[in-house]
Structure 1
Amino acid sequence: MLKSSKKEDSSKKNQNNKLIFTVRKLFSPIKNFFRKTKTPDNFFGVIKRLKINSQKMTLDERNILANLLELEYKTIEDIMVPRSDIAAIKLTTNLEELSESIKLEVPHTRTLIYDGTLDNVVGFIHIKDLFKALATKQNGRLKKLIRKHIIAAPSMKLLDLLAKMRRERTHIAIVVDEYGGTDGLVTIEDLIEEIVGRIDDEHDQQLDSDNFKVINNSTIISNARVEVEVLEEIIGEKLQNDDDEFDTIGGLVLTRVSSVPAIGTRIDISENIEIEVTDATPRSLKQVKIRLKNGLNGK
């Protein structure tokens, strides 16, 4: 494993400090507004007034303002991790089994726990609680480590969800459909990313979240949330059956493995298709590189 130099670490630290300063500076008038009022009804009015006086703001500050204004229209459905991309653990798993599994992969910071099926999520565990339990040799089930989550509808506005998470003091929301089944997942990190934007290393060369790019006759770069139908249409090959429970390329990959694969993992999908994970978090896939051994449409 390559280690970053002190110069690179210092650069990243300075970049993070700059971002923190920018967010604090920009949010100070918003924080003062909420101190003086008991309702956030005029929240977007405050943001719009800030934007009018944005001539002296930096590019980072203007970008955050623009992201905040978009929250007025965005709902959970716009950003949630779909069901097919969710990684979770059965309630019946004991600590010893879990400790063995995390030795083989980067552990999730927070992992969902379900009883029976994913439609019955009972909460989540934080990795630090697991490590503490293992260090003190606490044997048994996961139940005593479970933290509470909240339930939300896909149509809920992101700002309302952020407020609810703060009130309930939790970082995870399970999105449910009209029948009460698990439809997706949203974390506090997802919400913050919508405001401050994605923070990439200067050497990262990731695509925008909505991109699906055909690089050449044998290579495609895609966001993992792009629907499988898009890929099928491009390559002229059927990859999804009517009874399959996944809709996205990320979901297709997860049907071939037992957990979220690490960056660099290559998975054979068919005789013609190999998918390499190029961006992922411990919880979900972000971006993949699709290699077509026979080229587009077998050409």
Structure 2
Amino acid sequence: MSDKRQRARVQGSWAKPPAKGQSGPMGFVPSNAASRSNTASGSWGFGNQKASEAFKFHQPTKPVRDVPKEKVIEQAGVYEISHGPSGVSRLRLWPGFITTEEADWMFSKLLEELPWSKKTNYRQGEAYDEPRLTCWYGELPYTYAHSTIPANNQWHPLLVTLREAVEQSSSCTFNSLLCNLYRNGRDSIGWHSDDEASLGPKPTIASLSLGDTRVFSLRKQPPPEDNGDYTYVERISVPLSHGTLLLMEGATQDDWQHQVAKEYHDRGPRINLTFRTIHPEPEGHRPGTKI
């Protein structure tokens, strides 16, 4: 074997280490070879009690939690979605509350004749335009997101008819209405609760949908120990189709938030009529905030 090949074999990673007292391939005797061997062996915990303890299983200090599966509500009925210190949170759902033919006509008329406009809100002192159009009806102004909509008692006749129909079916009374127009899937409303002091305690909100179907989502408020983390809260989705009526009752505004999220595929316009009861702001209270 040539000297070149011999050196290559000796210097390769598979070459045998020199015997004790013998020099290496270049005449070098590694004086710390034994110590390196012992260190490497101990690093894997073989014969080393301290290292073995490092690989011992320890029970997690925090319990492992599963993210709850989102529930879907589509069928007509009454749903008690939670029971808590605030009381019972309840949804009532009426798909087909208005027939398709009537809903088509109502949608076209309201889309054309209501005074739709873009509302400016404020977040941390900065102004932003809502990603939808709105209009308001009621004897009192309504303040939310640090912005006030002035009173407007000139109800459109069709809205008066719809309010009476909703009141008769729900056995509730309403004195005001916030109308929302979602022009396409990019229009939305973020997570919030309708919990302003002007709505009173345990408000009932009646939501009537006309136009394309959009998903109405709810999520439960997290317990105090979760410090505002919504990862493990209960979630519900309700597809609101043309002519559907949804009521939120009881402690829903105390214990849950809701939203209509953006959708990144084609969606036609949708009108959402949210009937509610507005009270005068408590004396000395800042409008648009909780009590």
**TM-score normalised by the shorter chain: which range applies?**
under 0.3
More strand per residue: 2
Greater radius of gyration (CA): 2
TM-score by length of structure 1 reads 0.21
Structure with greater helix percent: 1
